[in-house]
Amino acid sequence: MDETDTRQAIKDAALELLVRDGYRGTSFGDISAALGTTRANIHYHFGNKQALVNEVLGDYMQATLSALRAVWSHEGSSLAEQTEAMIAYSRARFRHFNPAGTEGHNWSLISRLRQDADLLGDDGRRMLNHFGVELLALFTQAFLSAGRRGELAPKVVAADAALLLAAIADNAAPITLAEGGFEALEETYRSLTRIIKSSAE
């Protein structure tokens, strides 16, 4: 395995552990045990835990925002279709960490690291804040586009609807944990769509 592959393998293992166990519960020892390598090898590639976590978080945010832009910037899709695509995307992530019959596990790195934000350092906290800003901007544009397509009533303010959607998306994992499964998140997304649709009729 070359150095690029090794770095990626370390980040992949760290991601799995960080989502499950958070910053506090993940050590270089845990990562090295998962990979069958040494702690010294991880130190060689990343220096320290905070640097590794920042890189994993940066990659995760970039991949997540890219996937959500593909969903919510698709002009050929209605708001309801975009919502269903969002649900499907979230369900795939949920099922990765919660195979059938094993519900109750965290499945979002963003929400998990927010619980440990005091340990992340300035860069990590800035990244988490940036994610929220980007999410809100993306949803605002999606609702403005929905308005141009005639899917929003004049009284529905795109920025207000986007704020509600961002609150759901940003708390998706806690919703599934608090309510005992993914169905609660599905219903929360769909209820917002129904409210907006009923307002447009």
Domain assignments of the chain as residue spans, ordered by start: 49-200
CATH number assigned to the domain covering 49-200: 1.10.357.10
Looking at residue 43, its pLDDT comes to: 95
> What is the per-residue pLDDT for 61?
97
Of residues 201 and 57, the one with the higher pLDDT is 57
The rounded percent of the chain whose pLDDT value lies above 70 is: 96
pLDDT in tens, 18-27: 999 999 999 9
Mean pLDDT of all residues belonging to the chain: 92
Mean pLDDT of 46-75: 96
Q: How high is the pLDDT of residue 1? A: 56
Confidence class for position 150, pLDDT limits 50, 70, 90:
confident
10 contacts 46 by C-beta, under 8 angstroms: yes
More confident: 1 or 109: 109
pLDDT on residue 129:
96
Q: Does 201 have pLDDT greater than 80?
A: no
Sign of CA dihedral 106, 23, 60, 114: positive
Give the Cα separation of 24 and 35 in Å (integer): 19
Q: How confident is the model at residue 100 (pLDDT cuts 50, 70, 90)?
A: confident
Per-residue pLDDT at 102:
82
**Cβ neighbours for 201, distance < 8 A, ≥ 6 positions apart:** 153
